[in-house]
Structure 1
């Protein structure tokens, strides 16, 4: 390691209020640390959500009685001929801590007095984030006991931030070395999938359970490949949550994983208590002998369109839905619970696996079935009626998903998202996920679908991918025989449109 590289630890208060780096590898503090935002730095892009999340993390650490709370790394470049310390990495967090301490009553933080490059991000986010933090922690004007207690609590919070929150600080006189260190830090960060970040977050929420139980949970998690978990979270859970909310689902990343962080053990709002109570009740019933003795069904502890409970329930939630999805995708006659020897799925599995468009249509089919199962299918002891209603929905899910495929020669995600949002002029363009989530019973859903799903005609599919279902004859293009099949698997997927009344030729 370069001998000129200084590794140190400092508290937030020492750095921002006293301009001191507390402890260095030489054992001596560094005084008169004047932090500077160099011209090459990117703008301040943290939003109010990021700032409030940092505040909430600190409050949680304080309430958990953590004596020291590490809040990140700060990389500084100190040129030999200059007094200032240029921030190479850690600017977003440093500005946010400065705004937070200002909101908590600290005046004149020198770091905030410098002129920062004038751009739209800096101009908006600095003021907006300060206002958001101030609304949370600022002094209350009312002269009351609650206002006095709030002030005392905020003073305790300020003291915790200034004296217990620590940064690891790396200082180098070589700017290229500073950027090399920065790149290595970020390269390691980029290797983390969103589900890795979620795993780390929820493991921190499990500090009250035994090491043996934690180890078992981690082993179960690691039974699934990284690519499998990335696909499961990014293409299934994330997309369902967004589509149910009426949003387009783009890419799951570190900026939008908050939807999977859920309700923590410290959340005490009525909203949080309701969902935590529901989980605890289901866990209590399923852990007891009650379902076995009474012959009743297990109680489902989760729903895809409701908040997650942080910690151990998150891992149970992941395992629960991963197993259901694999069950749905497994069409083996002698295995699986939901999809068993389904003739539609046989055709999809044999003929419609390759290509982006086919993959999109199959994902829409699988996710809509997963949401239906989650909402309406009992995990244990399904009745004959349960299965009959489910089989009816499978037909509707297929018609909806593959109506999209049939109407496009080259289907991509932009067209698919518009179709799901109901923004397309294609037949059967509507939000299946919102429709499912609005229904209280499977019967009401099937009734709604009977009104929403329309048949396709030759004119609807003549320019789309379904033209592959045609063959040339001496009299012109005609539809292949709808009943052509090999080993019980139909060659033409429009056969299922036809026999269910959704194809007009």
Structure 2
């Protein structure tokens, strides 16, 4: 059974004395939340408490405006004579048989308070030996004890990250400047108020999965969730039989991705999965569509579920041996976009895999000289036709087709033939995607969907579902043959005027039609492959 403990601590006790001031007895919680037997005596301390920033934590993101706002709030509370000023909640995961407590939630605030206290301790006024020590002897002794106390929490190294370096330095400098403006005696008063009156509610659990669930609940209260936040919580619950290290590694993969980019990734994968089925997706993933990413669970024992789980387990095992290197085949892909997701740990691997793959495609990074060979089409599209919403919709369906093709037909270490075939496919998919752009002044989301699903009310040329065509092809050669049969010429009279620039320099503005004509009129041979001849005469 996991152990859940609630506590309250002052900032001074936590950061200077490495202890949590008191536990909250069960009777104070309103319900029994402690999962071990017995009541907890009032004001029982937890000590020592060594706070750790785990590897899976994000960088320190608080900027000067956030740090100064916290200081302003504290000073306002002190001026208002608030006896207790609650400054938030700290969620900790306790390492078993250790006094180390990993910060799951509250890292930004704890680092900021540590910097502020360090600054105040360094700037604390020396004790006035001429003072009448009989006035408040206890108070003076407390000052002496804490004045030069180091903040041990700050001794641990932060990740070598630009955000960490910049924000820690800038916030500390901002605190130093602000504190230097305080009147005589005010620095000590401020320090003592932070140490003794500012409090954190602390939640401690020895179950890391439970800690992350508390984190999700705490951070989404009162604000709308990203759909992928719900997926994270769902798949963490499916990891109940995994080790702590496996859970940590999964969360690290997740947290390494910018949350806005993560939302975009799920939007892309959701749309692609719907297009493959021939369905019309919403523009963005929402809570009502989450089942598509919940996948096959450990409890599912249907034949199809057993097949996919067995395939994942086999490939995972094979990739961890010397087999890929002995056979020369390289590591096998664990995932396919049109296959069900495996719930739990594989889901987090799935997300990281497709994030890296799609990022490489969109940045034209790994694929230049490796897959795409500096393809002129990709480079030109990166520099032009990427401004308005219409251009972005066309680029979206272009990238999605490349992602699906790479996912289906390209190994991690491609052969020469795979490299050449992908280059050919890019030419085909350019003709398909940008046919819509040539035929419409304004490309909207609905018209993009209608084009893909062959529902265009005006019968757009080259309107067909390329995604379904890709997943039903058993080889690039058979795919190219189908594409050759489906793609048609566009008469110049049907091309919107702004794309009719006849300048032979295809990288100049508005030369999209010339690109199309150049590629389309490369001779398509009976086997469905471009001939690669350089004679582009019509």
| Superposition TM-score, scaled by structure 1 size | 0.58
- Structure 1 residues 247 and 217: alpha-carbon distance in aligned structure 2, compared to 1, 3 A threshold: same
Contact 2:506–2:512 under 8 Å retained in 1: no
CA contact (8 A) 1:327 1:338 kept: no
Distance 1:199 1:481 in 2: 51
In structure 2, C-alpha distance between the alignment counterparts of 1:25 and 1:323, rounded to whole Å: 45
- 1:438–1:335: structure 2 CA closer, same or farther, 3 Å change rule? closer
Gaps in structure 1 of 5+ consecutive residues: 1-22, 28-183, 471-478
The residue correspondences of 1:359-370 to structure 2 (distance < 5 A) are 359-370=392-403
The structural deviation recorded for 1:194 is 0.9
Look up the match of 1:285. Answer: 318
Matches of 1:301 and 1:197 in 2, distance apart? 24
8 Å Cα contact 2:375-2:423 kept in structure 1: no
The aligned counterpart of 1:4 is: none
Q: 2:469 aligns with which of 435, 450, 458?
A: 435
Query: Following TM superposition, by how much is the alpha carbon of 1:420 offset from its aligned partner in structure 2, in angstroms?
Result: 0.6
- 1:419 pairs with one of 451, 467, 470: 451
1:404–1:426 CA contact under 8 A, matched in 2: yes
- Corresponding residue for 1:215? 248
Distance 1:495 1:276, change over 3 A: same
Of 282, 293, 302, which aligns to 1:269?
302
Aligned residues: 311
Change in 2 beyond 3 A, CA 1:500/1:355: same
The change in CA–CA distance for 1:333 and 1:221 in structure 2 (over 3 A counts) is closer
1:245/1:434 contact within 8 Å kept: yes
CA distance in 2, matches of 1:333, 1:187: 36
Determine the structure 2 residue equivalent to 1:480.
502
- In the alignment, the residues of structure 2 paired with residue 450 and residue 244 of structure 1 have an alpha-carbon distance, to the nearest angstrom, of 20
Correspondence list, 1:285-304, <5 A:
285-304=318-337
Q: Does 1:501 align with 2:533?
A: no
Relative to structure 1, the CA distance from residue 334 to residue 364 in structure 2 (aligned partners, 3 Å threshold; closer, same or farther) is closer
Closer, same or farther in 2 for the Cα pair 1:388/1:186, shift >3 Å?
Answer: closer
Q: In structure 2, list runs of 5 or more residues that go unmatched.
A: 1-26, 32-216, 523-536
Distance 2:366 2:233 in 1: 39
Over 3 Å counting, the alpha-carbon distance change for 1:387 and 1:484 in structure 2 is closer
In structure 1, which of residues 192, 195, 205 is the aligned counterpart of residue 228 of structure 2? 195
Contact 2:380 2:507 in 1 (8 A): no
User: In 1, Cα distance between the equivalents of 2:336 and 2:29?
Assistant: 51
**Structure 2 counterparts to residues 19-418 of structure 1, below 5 A:** 188=221, 190-234=223-267, 236-250=268-282, 251-332=284-365, 337-380=370-413, 382-418=414-450
Work out whether 1:468 is the aligned partner of 2:502.
no
Query: Which residue of structure 2 lines up, in the alignment, with residue 71 of structure 1?
Result: none
